Chains A and B, each alone.
Chain A
Amino acid sequence: MQAIKVRNLSRQFGSVTAVDSLDLDISVGQVYGFLGPNGCGKSTTIRMLCGLLKPSAGEVNILGLSIPEQAEALKLKTGYMTQSYSLYRDLNVVENLNFMAEIYSLSGRNKRLRIEELITRYQLGDIRHQISGSLSGGQRQRLSLAAAVIHKPPLLLLDEPTSAVDPQSRRDFWESLFELVEQGTTILVSTHFMDEAERCHKLAILDRGKKVADDSPKNLMRDINAHVVEVHTDSVASAQDVLQCLPEIKGVTQLGLSLRVLVDRQVDQAEDFIRQTLTSHQLTAVATQVKANLEDVFVVATMSQPSGSR
């Protein structure tokens, strides 16, 4: 079943095209990731899906509702975590939850039980009377998630929820997301962390407003349009200089004393190709083809745009 169906969605800010002819198909019960660098249009897309920004063009259908016309009806069914912390810094944890509960028309016993349930689930018990402005990044994030799910929405839209959070909190946070998915929630989450992207059921890679890849992380890594070769050599810097200039090479990244080289898929013997190239420049090297990871996918996807200058 489709939770989100988007066709040809675009948004202009003056002369800037923040989102460019985007198509999305997101099934119910998935964690769907938006991966992309800052400014690629993740927030703008999520805001349009919430009905907070009007699309310049395109059709959006979410949970059977047509957006932006039926945005108000959708607001009952979505939970939204904004990119920056957006609960009240001068209210404490319980007061914030209480406010959000009342805004979603919870009252009396139901409200109290739901708040207690969330406080337990998201470990907010020790800080329940702490002013939220003084919470740590991880605590704020747990509180924001608790507030976003207070009305048990079938769809969660999370805009870079982990960008201000330590690694352990990030792992815990993702555990919570999968718990929600098990209960049938659909989650759209934007990120610029590869490890998080890899945990999504499906993934869209955005680059300058355009979707440049869309599949499961596994398929994306399998179908990558490049050979990944690890190169060990004495003079890493010279080797990098040589390789970078070749049209067959899509990317070179230094990893400590070795290089990770992305070679065009058209090249048959990638390992030999690199070795021979380097030998012709009086450099000795050991080249080994390895499996692609998501970062390789990202590099290839974002460079293959015609206007790419990366």
Chain B
Amino acid sequence: MISWRRLWAVCNKEFKQLARDRGTIAMIIGIPVLELLMFGYAINNDVRHLPAVVLDQSQSAFSRHLTEDVAATQIVDFVASVATIEELDSLIRSGQVSVGLFIPADAQRRSQQPDRRVAQLIVDGTDPVIAGVVAQLQAMPLGLRSHDWLREKNNSFELRIYYNPEKRSAVNIVPGLIGLILTMTMVLFTAIAIVREKEHGTLELLIATPVSVLELLMGKVLPYILIGLIQASLVLGLGYWVFNVPVSGSLLDVYLATSLFIAASLMLGLVISTVAESQFQAMQMTIFVFMPSILLSGFMFPFAGMPVAAQWVAEVLPLTHFLRIIRGIVLRGASLGEMLTEMLILLGFTVIMLTIAALRFNKRLD
């Protein structure tokens, strides 16, 4: 039996404490804003304007056209021109350029022969993203100015990209960030909210009162659902205004799914709080959950590309399921009904975690 008055008393107290805790308030607002701006602007797999060097041994009209064609893609900017292959190597090794274009003396003759390559692209492969982008140049239709017939040879498929035709990373990042930020803040806040009472000794008095385990746990958790929804709104709003990411599906669905995910994260925080003895330990354990969430959930790397073992770990993380739901709703306009399985998994996770927390948390000191 839950006494709503006691539950409210705990909630209300938590709100008052939160309102006086400037650091936490700064975190609630600051983390979503900063992360969104950082991820939105900095992470961009669609790389352009790589510094490049050209080594032109042909010195012909053909080679100048070829260089211009490559430059016209905007993938590379030619910042230097060298005469020897040693100079080119040295520029790449020192990191001054990422790409070298080597045009041999017989380039024009080679272009007449279908089985021979016209020129060579030398790429600094230390960043695979850059290497991948430059690899696109390999398939570049050489023909705007140099050779018309090559164009047909290269485009065997017509490619159509759904939902994010410009391939802007912000579109993928914004809904993912909602999940990432909630994982970080919600788990940490609840874990700390209870461990702090242990550390300050206030828990000893609290458990000597008639407040029940469920009233105590729920009362501590409920205020953060509201906080979490505020954070989600902040990310969605900024995503819309700054990065032009609209919500394709229903906003109600977004908030329902987000609430469920917040609940799941909060319950995970509760479980951590029953294990951790100090706020520092709670922080460590949160990071322990946070790292795989970032790396394996599909936020950073596509889920399908991960080894099976990693996929199994990922399936246990609530963020994995939330990302599928939220990307579905926000980007593809899916409805909650189409995401029912994922929702049920999140719900199951929440219930299991609450049960574990309630069983582990007893109103005793030993």
Band of interface residues on B: 20 to 34
Task: Determine the distance from Cα of A54 to Cα of B211 in the docked complex, in whole angstroms.
Answer: 19
DSSP majority for the A interface?
loop
Q: Which residues of A contact B204 (CB under 8 A)?
A: 52, 82, 86
The answer to whether B8 touches A102, judged by C-beta atoms less than 8 angstroms apart, is yes
Q: Which residues of B contact A273 (CB under 8 A)?
A: none
Q: Which residues of B contact A53 (CB under 8 A)?
A: 364-366
* B140 CB → nearest A CB, Å: 63
Is residue B127 contacting chain A, with contact meaning CB distance below 8 A? Answer: no
Interface size on A, residues (CB 8 A): 30
Closest chain A residue to B216, Cβ basis: A103
The answer to whether B5 touches A107, judged by C-beta atoms less than 8 angstroms apart, is yes
The answer to whether A99 touches B210, judged by C-beta atoms less than 8 angstroms apart, is no
Q: Which residues of B contact A112 (CB under 8 A)?
A: none
The answer to whether B210 touches A72, judged by C-beta atoms less than 8 angstroms apart, is yes
Is residue B201 contacting chain A, with contact meaning CB distance below 8 A? Answer: yes
Binding stretch for chain A, among B9-17, B105-113, B143-151, B179-187: B9-17
Is residue A90 contacting chain B, with contact meaning CB distance below 8 A? Answer: yes
Among A52, A76, A86, A91, point to the contact of B210 (Cβ < 8 A). A76
Tally of contacts, chain A with chain B, CB under 8 A: 76
Is residue A88 contacting chain B, with contact meaning CB distance below 8 A? Answer: yes
Task: Determine the distance from Cα of A78 to Cα of B200 in the docked complex, in whole angstroms.
Answer: 22
The interface bits of chain B over 2-25 (1 if a CB of A lies within 8 angstroms of the residue's CB, else 0) are: 010110111011001100110000
Q: Which residues of B contact A78 (CB under 8 A)?
A: 208
The answer to whether A104 touches B210, judged by C-beta atoms less than 8 angstroms apart, is yes
Task: Determine the distance from Cα of A80 to Cα of B9 in the docked complex, in whole angstroms.
Answer: 19
Given A54-B364, A95-B16, A99-B13, also A80-B208 (CB < 8 A): yes
Task: Determine the distance from Cα of A224 to Cα of B363 in the docked complex, in whole angstroms.
Answer: 42
Q: Which residues of A contact B208 (CB under 8 A)?
A: 50-52, 75, 78, 80, 82
The answer to whether B200 touches A105, judged by C-beta atoms less than 8 angstroms apart, is no
Given A53-B366, A82-B201, also A104-B209 (CB < 8 A): yes
The answer to whether B201 touches A86, judged by C-beta atoms less than 8 angstroms apart, is yes
The answer to whether A85 touches B16, judged by C-beta atoms less than 8 angstroms apart, is no
Task: Determine the distance from Cα of A100 to Cα of B21 in the docked complex, in whole angstroms.
Answer: 21
The answer to whether A87 touches B205, judged by C-beta atoms less than 8 angstroms apart, is yes
Among B21, B211, B363, B366, point to the contact of A103 (Cβ < 8 A). B211
Query: Which 3 pairs, one residue from A and one from B, show the smallest C-beta to C-beta distance?
Result: A102-B9, A86-B205, A80-B208
Q: List the interface of chain A (C-beta within 8 A of B).
A: 47, 50-54, 68, 71-72, 75-76, 78, 80, 82, 84-91, 95, 99-100, 102-105, 107
Q: List the interface of chain B (C-beta within 8 A of A).
A: 3, 5-6, 8-10, 12-13, 16-17, 20-21, 200-202, 204-211, 363-366
Other A-B contacts than A80-B205, A84-B201, A88-B13, 19 sampled, CB-CB below 8 A, are A51-B208, A52-B208, A52-B364, A54-B366, A76-B210, A80-B208, A82-B208, A85-B201, A86-B200, A86-B201, A87-B202, A88-B202, A90-B16, A99-B12, A102-B8, A102-B12, A104-B210, A105-B6, A107-B5
